Each structure stands twice: as C-alpha cells, then as structure tokens.
Amino acid sequence: MPKVRVILGSKSDVETCQPIKDTLAEFGVEYDFYISSAHRKPLETASLAKNAAAEGIEVIIACAGMAAHLPGVIASYTHLPVIGVPLTSKTMGGLDALYSIVQMPSGVPVATVAINGAKNAALLAIQILALKDETLKRKFIEYKKSL
C-alpha cells in the first residue's frame, strides 16, 4: 500500500521530480503518483488530498512552479504532512514558486524544500515515515552515515 502520494502540477515537471521516485524506490517506500493542477483540475486535486489518509497515505509531496498553489491547496484539504517542492520557472527562476509555497498562512503549514529539491522532499518524507518504522529508520541512519 502506498505511503507517500506524489502530486505534480504539470506533466512538464516529471523529469525534474524524478529524484522523488528514485529516492523513495531506493528506500523501498511505496508511493502513488499523479499529475493534477490546482488551477486546471481543482476538484481532482481536492479529492486526491481529501481521500489520501483513507487510502493509507501518510505524507504528500506536491511539486509546482510559478504561482505554485498546489502544495497549499492540498494542505488545506488534509491533516497529513505536505512537503512542497518549488520548481524553476522561466520568469523568476523558481523564486515565485518558493515564495508561494513557503508563505503559507498560520494554521496551514507546508514543509518547503529548495527550488527543484525533489530528492530532499523524498528524504524528508522518509524521515517522517521512519518515526514509526524501525526498518526505514535504520536505512535512513545508514544513508546519513554514507554521506
């Protein structure tokens, strides 16, 4: 059963976000993967967030560029931890997305990693899951030692 839900705002983000899939797979963490824009598919996006916990999801990673509303919209619909990944854009180099994700209003937190920080998003999700999974905790500790 997937423990992490990965949602991208656009199919053009797939390559940039590939490290999420690679890292989760490296640690043996099951995930599901969707492309669902907060602007173009708002009902589908809301459903992915609202139903995540009932589907066994424990952490959501949301990746978006430009206005980057996706992580915040998802966080507004769920009690699960949401990790936002701001993505590079042509206009502001990703600063627009970073500001959009990191400046969430009080009460609707979104953990935010670096611009294009896909791998760190996956590692943060793994750390969250490792709080109650000893095997994953050991794998993560070994990973950290190897750095």
pLDDT band at 2 (very low <50, low <70, confident <90, very high): confident
Domains of the chain: 4-146 (3.40.50.1970)
Output the pLDDT for position 90: 86
Q: Taking residues 95-100, report their average pLDDT.
A: 95
Closest CA to 125 of 71, 59, 78, 68: 59
H/E element holding 6? strand 4-8
Q: Which pair of structure tokens corresponds to residue 11?
A: 């199919």
pLDDT band at 85 (very low <50, low <70, confident <90, very high): very high
Q: Which pair of structure tokens corresponds to residue 7?
A: 């949602």
Q: Is the pLDDT of residue 34 over 80?
A: yes
Output the pLDDT for position 91: 83
Q: Tokens 């990693």 appear where?
A: 113
Kindly report, residue by residue over 104-133, the tens digit of the pLDDT: 999 999 999 999 999 999 999 999 999 999
What percentage of the chain carries pLDDT values higher than 70? 100
Kindly report, residue by residue over 38-70, the tens digit of the pLDDT: 999 999 999 999 999 999 999 999 999 998 999
Q: In angstroms, rounded to a whole number, what is the distance separating the alpha carbons of residues 121 and 100?
A: 17
Output the pLDDT for position 4: 98
Output the pLDDT for position 20: 98
